[in-house]
Amino acid sequence: MRKSKRIYVIKLCILAGLVLALALISLCFGTVNYSLDQVFKVIFKMSKTGAFIITRLRLPRVYAAILCGLAFGIAGNIFQTLLNNPLASPDIIGVSSGSTVAAVYCILFLRLNRNLVSFISVIAGIVVALVIYKISYRDKFSTNRLILVGIGFQAFFSALTNWMIMKAAEYDVPTAMRWLNGNLNGIVTESLPMLFIVVIVCGLTVIGFRHSLQSIALGEQIAVVHGVRVNRVRALLIICAVMLIAFATAIAGPIASIAFLSGPIAARICGRNQSNILSSGLVGAILVLAGDFVGENLLATRYPVGVVTGILGAPYLIYLLIYQHRKGKA
């Protein structure tokens, strides 16, 4: 057991090191390249050379990528573990759709500034998630009912979003489309403190209930035997996941596939018998940082991070559906 825990901690340290390495690469590389020495001097206010580009353009982008990656990764792991279904990702079962619809409406028709759009999208995301949970919970909680209701909400809100885009003025559509694709452009440091607080508070809460989460994943009866108050713990974990998704979506838009991919990748790296909450968050941060770096620097045309991560998620979804069908679970 000690050896297993030691190996797990080493793997977590490697993932954290990859996050740090990608963050530094993102700060140094670009149209104007900087050395690590220059970057550190600017961060610690020892030099003004390139200060605007690093502190006002690149640092907020890196901070947002890490925080959003952590939020999406942890939330995705919560839903997939809690519902015991690899398809139970927040962006597939409709949890993030409320934030998306509210933000698109505010951008296209109300023309509100970014801070107001973020606030309204957070509220809408939480309300829609509570409605989905309420409809799914009749006499008792049903995993399959929650997934089906969520997919229905996702389909409805996707159609509503497309309708709003068709009815909007042409000059407003590009702004909404950039947000819909998951975009880190234009993020400022002042908009990140609330997301930071939510990631820390919700992340620590979920880690504190990690054993209860694993017990629920084994079955409600087993969880009750272990002394877990299933309904209370499940509601608390879903609230934490919804808060993470809502605040991250409000900042960067619905970055595709991060919540969907982070959990399975973390399980492959660290093992399925471990509590992969933190590792899922770190994998999410790696995927967002890597996707943003590739979209900004390595392709012929600059693409939002959500386009790159969406390309990664599509083949895995197809593979998962085929695999589930062969096992008779689809």
Q: Which two tokens stand for residue 219?
A: 């079955």
Cα dist. 255→9, 65, 298, 311 in Å? 28, 10, 19, 11
Q: What is the pTM of this model?
A: 0.92
pLDDT of 330 strictly over 50:
no
pLDDT of 155 strictly over 70:
yes
Place of tokens 């997934």: 147
SS3 sequence, 121-169? HHHHHHHHHHHHHHHHCCCCCCHHHHHHHHHHHHHHHHHHHHHHHHHCC
Q: How many Cβ atoms from other residues are within 10 Å of residue 144's Cβ?
A: 10
C-alpha torsion angle, residues 76, 263, 248, 94 (rounded to 10):
-30
Can you tell me the distance from the alpha carbon of 225 to that of 76, in angstroms, rounded to the nearest whole number?
A: 26
| Tens-digit pLDDT profile for residues 51-75 | 888 888 899 999 999 999 999 999 9
Higher local confidence (pLDDT), 283 or 275 = 283
Confidence bin at 325 (pLDDT 50/70/90) = low
Percent of the chain with pLDDT over 90: 34
pLDDT of 139 strictly over 90:
no
Can you tell me the distance from the alpha carbon of 159 to that of 208, in angstroms, rounded to the nearest whole number?
A: 38
pLDDT of 1 strictly over 70:
no
Confidence bin at 85 (pLDDT 50/70/90) = confident
Cα dist. 177→107, 111, 173, 174 in Å? 10, 14, 6, 5
What pLDDT is attached to residue 47? 78
Confidence bin at 314 (pLDDT 50/70/90) = confident
Q: What is the mean pLDDT of residues 192-198?
A: 94
pLDDT of 235 strictly over 80:
yes
Cα dist. 175→3, 36, 42, 200, 201 in Å? 51, 34, 31, 30, 31
Q: What is the DSSP letter of 109?
A: I
What pLDDT is attached to residue 328? 58
Q: What is the mean pLDDT of residues 252-263?
A: 90
Q: How many Cα atoms within 13 Å fall on the side-chain side of residue 220?
A: 11
Cα dist. 198→13, 122, 204 in Å? 23, 12, 10
What pLDDT is attached to residue 18? 96
Q: What is the mean pLDDT of residues 86-97?
A: 76
Q: What is the mean pLDDT of residues 109-118?
A: 83
- Poorest-pLDDT segment among 17-21, 117-121, 169-173, 261-265: 169-173
